[in-house]
Amino acid sequence: MSTTLRLDGREIPFTPGQTIMDAALAVGVYIPHLCHNPDYAPHGSCRVCMVGVNGRLVSACTTAALDGMTVESNTETIAATRRSIVQLLFVEGNHVCPACERSGSCQLQAVAYYVGMLSPHFPQCFPQRPVDASHPDFMIDFNRCILCELCVRASRDHDHKRVFAVSGRGLASHLVIDSPSGLLGDSQFAASDRAAQVCPTGAILPKHRGYEQPIGQRLYDQAPISVVGDLRAQPGGD
Amino acid sequence: MGEPVNSQVQAFVARSLDLRGLAPEQLLQHLIAVQQQFGWVPPAAVHALAAALDVAHAQVRAAVAFYAFLHDQPRGDFDILFSDNITDRMLGNQRLVGLLAERLGLGLNETRADGRVTIGLTSCTGMCDQGPALLVNGQAVTALTAARVDRIADLVDEGVPLARWPGAFFRVADNIRRCGLLLSNPVTDGASLRRLLENGADTALTELERSGLRGRGGAGFTTALKWRFCREAEGGDRTVPRFVVCNADEGEPGTFKDRVLLTSYTDLVFEGMTLCAGVIGARLGFLYLRGEYRYLVPHLESVLARRRAEGLLGKGILGQPDFDFDIAIHLGAGAYICGEESALIESLEGKRGVTRKRPPFPVISGYQDRPTVVNNVETFLAAARVVQWGGYWLRGEGTDQSAGSKILSVSGDCARPGIYEYPFGTPVHRVLTDCGAGEVQAVQVSGAAGTTLAPAEFDRLLAFEDLPTAGSFMIFDRSRDLLELVRNFAAFFAHESCGFCTPCRVGTALLRNLVEKVAAGQASAHDLQELRDIGPLMRQASYCGLGHTAPNHVLNTLDKFPAIYQRHLRSADYSPSFDLDAALGCARALTGRDGVADHVEEEA
């Protein structure tokens, strides 16, 4: 017997144990998301993948699919909610798209386009976050960190290193690096780590190469994220 | 306390490791001990603990940065934190903070140059019926007056150790004003445990079911069901460890009834936990005690020791060879979120108190991913009585969906603040009459996360079917500007958001900033609409209850008391949050020019 759920009126099969996100991704239906990456355990922190179930909003990435479940995703109300959440992420950090090496191949930017964000709307927080350029191969610009914890999870669960952790609380929450000095260069981090590849924004960037692919010709310059999906799904990354 | 030499720190950590063990779960308890000893957590302690417990440096530092009572910079020899709940403010704590700061010659959140003293603010310390209150090196001081603050300044300047401060400063009163089903009798001699052994766990669960007992922490989950789920988890496999956790992280502003229960009904609380252990098959339990109540630890430990001696705790309880259960006290360190059961479990495991993904619920996967019952202090107490006296005893009071009684913490503008126990279904006005409140403008039920009531609603009933409450009951008379309540709560939630999810992490900060904009007379109607928009976003999209409830006070007061906002509005339309003149301050400082011509004139 097959199990199905109804997503925006469309019947979608799933296997028990899958989340709403799993089921949608499997049939190529895009639900915008930032902290989710199918290679790692669902996290549920960014709240961009909110969908409507029984009149309530739940995160698609952490909610188990149930047989006969009715899920709303593509509605104007939900789009407005997602847009506000992405705006919150933008004003929390210092995201300067025109000057960012990731522009055009940044999931945050691509999701912002997808949800129809035309301005940050809320007052900017303008946090003061120094850049860590201590590592020979990679740099971290904390200004662009959205606390999705994908690097935390990748380093812990795939690289088995625990290079990253989140410290502090509330708006003062921030990414920290596990080394005596707190600097990336003194940590176990290596360019070959999976954690170097999972950042959905421009926070973790390789050094010594920039703008190899001109802006305008990059992944999300060509097609929206709803069509081409996450960076990880692309051969050779960006 | 100055810089300790590394060898001192290492020696202290080594002693703490001997005492508390090498389990990573003990990390937070070690850190609290280090903080108490040195007044901060020096880097040498971070290194020593990371190495000994085999946890990452980053994890240790992350824990220090998460908990408000842990510090990575030295605090003064006397670390003074004024409780800053709205009830403390109503009792004049801000004047007293100013007085002490002036007497000691330092500002708020500063450590004096000689390292003698630090003054700061902290979230509600649970002394609302005898405030204003403060914590000095973690010890609670109550009933502050200008004279008491003056004396404290002398004691600090003279460097008198806390042990030689006047005992009256540390006196905490129970202030029990009205006793009902639970408070009438504090005595127990293990009767519920004997019942359990005579009749078995199934009968105990049946009595609990019959009683209709629901959790007293606010959410109101059926206690019998929770215990049964935990008992039957893992296919009922008795070899799987199970845990009992008593949530004594009474952090909801305005709540203090658990403090009284832990002080004067201690045996009943521990007995309820032991009963639960007998029902679900747990051998270890934890009392998670908020750091603000650390002064209770010696008392709690002495009761635990006595119960062990009496055969009511420990190995072979009441002579039953397979009934082993003991209770350990774990301290919190200043984090409201740890009152949420899954964050509490993370904290018990020594980590930052960040909410877990649910399901699985703790009854299936809790402490160390094992089946765990987490209940409020009051729930354990009630459960012990239900099993002792039977389910119908509790059913004798209350309403259909809310059996029994509720213990309230009453504070704010009234003649007799303190502890009141009422049958569920009691109207709000009855409480107001009993505690001597007059000219009441508003009541905040169930704390900062609860509901703001206007007089037209004072006939509403305290019960799960109408006004669910964890027990906080704060009263505001007509002399109060309710915008002060909103400012206080908005700042509280911005300080206490754990930061895990976007809507709560950023939303609480935006709400606080907007409310401050209103208070500063800089806001417009547009800003009120922003408050109305951000609030529901947080309610609907946040990850846990903190974010869901954090905007309640803003949305409630916008609806019921719009005038408190309107009278502060600068324009009916729009005013920018950007202050051009203030933004030029940096340039003025750099150029050293600060004349009239170097300021932007404000537009009329």
In b/e form, how buried is each residue of A38-52, taking b as 16+ CB within 10 angstroms? eebebbbbbbbbbbb
Of A50, A74, A98, which residue is a domain's last? Answer: A74
Flag whether residue B533 sits within 8 Å of chain A, measured between CB atoms. yes
- Judged by phi (left if over 0) then psi (alpha if -120 to 50, else beta), residue B288 lies in beta
List residues of A whose CB lies inside 8 A of any B CB: 42-48, 50, 56-57, 59, 62, 64, 81, 84-85, 88-89, 91-92, 122-123, 125, 146-147, 162, 164-173, 176-180, 182
Residue with tokens 């502890």: B419
Residue A233, in any domain of the structure:
no
- Domain holding A62, by residue range, is 3-74
Q: Does a structural domain hold residue A220?
A: no
Say if domain B178-395 classifies as CATH 3.50.50.60: no
| pLDDT at residue A1 greater than cutoff 50 | yes
CB neighbour list of residue A104: distance below 8 Å, 6 or more residues apart = A213, A215, A216, A217, A218, A219, A220, A221
Cα distance from B513 to chain A (closest Cα, Å)? 9
Nearest neighbour of B499 by CB, restricted to A164, A170, A182: A170
pTM comes to: 0.95
Nearest to B193 by CA among B67, B94, B95, B277: B277
- Which of B56, B501, B534 lies at the smallest CB-CB distance from A178? B56
Looking at this predicted complex, what is its ipTM?
0.97
Chain A interface, mutation test: which of B53, B342, B506, B524, most A Cβ atoms within 10 Å? B506
A18 and A100, same domain (yes or no) = no
Buried b (16+ CB within 10 A) or exposed e, B244-280: bbbbbbbbbbbbbbbbbbbbebbbbbbbbbbbbbbbb
Same domain assignment for residues A143 and A90: yes
By DSSP bridging, strand B418-423 and strand B176-178 are: parallel
Nearest to A81 among B500, B540, B577 (CB): B540
**CA of B502, closest CA in chain A: separation in Å?**
5
Look at residue B462 and give its three-state secondary structure.
strand
Least confident residue range of B146-150, B235-239, B281-285, B301-305: B235-239
Residues A102 and A202 occupy one common structural domain: yes
Best of B369, B501, B502, B542 to disrupt the A interface (most A CBs within 10 Å) is B502
Separation between Cα atoms, residue A26 and residue B165, nearest integer Å = 68
CATH of B78-173, one of 3.30.2320.80, 3.40.30.10, 3.10.450.50, 3.40.50.1100: 3.40.30.10
Nearest to B506 among A43, A50, A92 (CB): A92
- CATH number of the domain where residue A30 is located: 3.10.20.740
Evaluate whether residue A214 is within a structural domain: no
Interface-testing mutation among B64, B500, B516, B526, with chain A (most A C-beta atoms within 10 A): B500
* Ranges assigned E (strand) in B472-585: 472-477
B506 in contact with A, Cβ within 8 Å: yes
Span B226-243, pLDDT tens digits:
999 999 999 999 999 999
Topology of the domain comprising B483-566: de novo design (two linked rop proteins) (1.20.1440)
Q: Under a CB-based contact definition with an 8 Å cutoff, are residues A137 and A193 in contact?
A: no
Residues of chain B contacting A180 with CB distance shorter than 8 Å: 47, 57
Is A37 in the same domain as A88? no
Cβ of A176 within 8 Å of Cβ of B335? The answer is no
Do A92 and A133 belong together in one domain? yes
Task: State yes or no: pLDDT of A168 exceeds 60.
Answer: yes
Is residue A197 situated within a structural domain? Answer: yes
Q: Residue B571 — very low, low, confident or very high, per pLDDT cuts 50/70/90?
A: confident
Give residue-wise pLDDT tens across range A30-54.
Answer: 999 999 999 999 999 999 999 999 9
Based on the fold, state whether residues A142 and A191 are members of the same structural domain: yes
CA dist., res. B174 & res. B422, Å (int): 17
Summarised one tens digit per residue, pLDDT across range B96-105 is 999 999 999 9
* A109 domain residue, yes or no: yes
Total structural domains in chain A?
2
Which of B503, B505, B578 minimises the CB distance to A171? B505
Q: Which residue has the tokens 């719009």?
A: B562
What average pLDDT score do residues B360-386 get?
A: 97
Q: Where are the domains of chain B?
A: 6-66, 78-173, 178-395, 405-479, 483-566
Identify all chain B residues contacting A181, using CB atoms and an 8 Å cutoff.
none
pLDDT for A182-225, tens place per residue?
999 999 999 999 999 999 999 999 999 888 899 899 999 999 99
Rg (CA), chain A: 18
Residue of B nearest to A53 (CA): B540
Per CATH, the number for B405-479 is 3.10.20.600
Query: In this structure, what token pair is assigned to residue A51?
Result: 């969908």
Report pLDDT digits (tens) over B180-201.
999 999 888 899 999 999 999 9
A148 φ, ψ (degrees, to nearest 5): -75, -20
Kindly state whether B522 is in contact with chain A, defined as any CB-CB distance less than 8 angstroms.
no
Q: Are B449 and B217 in contact (CB under 8 A)?
A: no
